[in-house]
Structure 1
Amino acid sequence: MESVQNDIILVEKVCEIYHKISKLDTLKPSEDVNTLFTELVSTCIPPASINIANLPSDVQEIRSKLIRLCGEAEGHLEAHFSTILGSFPHPLHHLNEFPYYSNYLKLGRLEFDILTKHYSPSKQAPKRLAFVGSGPLPLTSIVLASYHLKDTIFHNYDIDSLANSMASHLVSSDPDLSQRMVFHTTNIMDVKDELKEYDVVFLAALVGMDIDEKVKVIDHLAKYMAPSALLMLRSAHGARVFLYPVVDVHLLKGFEVLDVFHPNDDVVNSVVISRKIGEIVNIDYGDNHHDHLELGIESMMPFSCKYCEFQAFSNSRGQMKMIDN
């Protein structure tokens, strides 16, 4: 009974914070934004037994809207710090200016360990990796390329040309990463045969904030990725589902789910890794499509909210490769 009562109090607190956030004039970084998202995350981080399926419809609606607000705030936050970092002659020397850089180092190590476990019996590193939805501050690609996958070529996909321009500027002064980072400005749904060239594909948050669009992207990847290629996503557990969109792992048609890891420390994101098992055509979910999408049981979410560890805000192009498709 105590656990149930604690969950009720938590949900009420989340709803209260949502109403405050929804009244803000802007979600760009500011003291008010900082304070509210800090409060939201500190509320959602402790262990909880939240079951999305049991939430009242009005709370489910608030959750959906709150996730979109987190996504919007993430976009502003990335652009804000990409601009700050880009003002230095060597942006990558100043990554610790980003308040959550240490978290990305931990998450990068975690994802690398999981990837290494499942990628190849010979323990060879992937030659080509795609990150879909890389944004103006592609820290996952930067951390993995800098510390773990030092010979891998990273292809970063984003539909926003400005985001790609900002991201490419960050690595343009680095003699190594400027040669191993490629930025594609295109909708991933228009990328087909090229997907077969990647050993690993990461799927990020802002690739379709609508849950149906996310599933369409996963279906698209299932159709065009190479057999045995790995798909990596980030998930949520407990009350953290109020921060992220959730997709039932059973909707990963065409993929074998290999591992789901839920950290219990300051690394907020869970990690899901799956393997492409074959060609997929005409995927049919039947009449219960939306029901499965919203349950979130045994779930994963292709989303990363940069406010998850939010504490406080305390060039030359070189040989950069930019591709506009």
Structure 2
Amino acid sequence: MAQAGRSLLRPPKNYSETIGTPMITNDGSRERLPYTEVVGSLLGLYKTLSALPTLTTNPETDAVLNELVALAVCPQDDEVIEKALSDPEVRGILPALWDLCSAAEFQLERVWAQRVISSPDPHREMREFPYFANYEVLTRLEYNTMRALAGASPHHVLFVGAGPLPLTSLLLSSGQESIDIDCIDIDPQAVRLAEQVAGVLGARSVRYECADVMSYLNLSRYDLLYMAALVGLDPEVKAQILRHLYRYAKPGAILLARSAHALRTLLYPPVNIRELGGFRPLAVLHPHTEVINSLIIAEKPSMGT
């Protein structure tokens, strides 16, 4: 699913306890895990996650995913991170781990999309989504950073990889009345659910279409191109998508691509800043908060620049 654009946006509460290692020591400093323990914990979690009978949200699945997220966000020394990510066994499981995370997030969003659609108070139900507050923070951070760098607000936005619970596009449309948003996703079920969610919430300025971004050529009208974190799980596929977006985007268009850094790349494939397909990078931001995704903002240079 090249455009399954979901996001594990925050760690569970008390995440240091989840992985069995205290995050704060008696003197108030942060306790790091040794490299061997990081790798061992990761391989064990991957084995457990791979063996689960279903990735649909349930106590067993949620517990394993919470442990994985906790491991990814627990602060570590740079040397430990580099050793862990370069470990041959870790490198060998990463593609399959990204697939599992993507599938699990899809199931989580599917369940919550159905809850919002069937709720007598869909707006309230939406705000009950466990990661709603983090989507608000991330979307606000992305939009304000992009606007400061671009010097203007976008009027036409394309979001690639909206998913069944399209929170980012809904938050953008509710906060900015002048924004017109088109969302695409390669998964038909995701699009059907997203349309129904937007319908019950009264989001009239957002449209959803089932499409493969590589076949989507009408990009010249968009001021802002959003690329979700799980669009293109394979690094080469991600690079191909970026080249495609650059080829058909208009000069001056802004790219906002969600990425990951450090051990958070266990959850999401990172965007290579050197492979933006021609887009000129403007800023890279790596939050060290509960928001997991990094963001890369770039632009297609205008003619003559």
TM-score category by the smaller chain?
A: 0.7 to 0.9
Aligned residues: 271
| Residue in structure 1 matched with residue 25 of structure 2 by the alignment | none
SS of residue matched to 2:258:
strand
Indicate yes or no: 2:167 matched with 1:139. Answer: yes
The 8 Å contact of residues 237 and 270 in structure 1, kept in 2 or not, is answered as: yes
Matches within 5 A, 1:40-119: 40-48=68-76, 49=78, 50-51=81-82, 55-119=86-150
Question: Following TM superposition, by how much is the alpha carbon of 1:91 offset from its aligned partner in structure 2, in angstroms?
Answer: 2.2
The 8 Å contact of residues 254 and 278 in structure 1, kept in 2 or not, is answered as: no
User: Could you state the TM-score of these two structures normalised by the residue count of structure 2?
Assistant: 0.83
Which of the residues 197, 200, 221 maps onto 1:170? 197
Which of the residues 64, 70, 73 maps onto 1:36? 64
| Residue in structure 2 matched with residue 152 of structure 1 by the alignment | 179
| Residue in structure 1 matched with residue 239 of structure 2 by the alignment | 215
The aligned amino acid for 1:71 is S
* Percent of aligned pairs sharing the same letter: 33
Indicate yes or no: 2:182 matched with 1:182. Answer: no
The aligned amino acid for 1:246 is P
Q: In the aligned structure 2, how far is the partner of 1:27 from the partner of 1:233?
A: 26
Q: In the aligned structure 1, how far is the partner of 2:122 from the partner of 2:208?
A: 17
**Unaligned runs of at least 5 residues, structure 1:** 280-325
Q: In the aligned structure 2, how far is the partner of 1:65 from the partner of 1:23?
A: 13
Question: Following TM superposition, by how much is the alpha carbon of 1:16 offset from its aligned partner in structure 2, in angstroms?
Answer: 1.2
The aligned amino acid for 1:235 is S
Indicate yes or no: 2:269 matched with 1:242. Answer: no
Indicate yes or no: 2:46 matched with 1:15. Answer: no
| Residue in structure 1 matched with residue 13 of structure 2 by the alignment | none
Q: In the aligned structure 1, how far is the partner of 2:100 from the partner of 2:118?
A: 28
Q: In the aligned structure 2, how far is the partner of 1:89 from the partner of 1:278?
A: 48
Matches within 5 A, 1:188-227: 188-192=213-217, 194-227=218-251
Q: In the aligned structure 2, how far is the partner of 1:32 from the partner of 1:167?
A: 27
Indicate yes or no: 2:288 matched with 1:260. Answer: no
Question: Following TM superposition, by how much is the alpha carbon of 1:15 offset from its aligned partner in structure 2, in angstroms?
Answer: 1.3
SS of residue matched to 1:114:
helix
The aligned amino acid for 1:211 is P
Residues 211 and 27 of structure 1: is their aligned pair in 2 closer, same or farther, counting only changes over 3 Å? same
Deviation string, structure 1 residues 208-241 (Cα, Å, up to 9, x no partner) = 3222221111110011011110111112122111
RMSD: 2.1
Residues 159 and 5 of structure 1: is their aligned pair in 2 closer, same or farther, counting only changes over 3 Å? closer
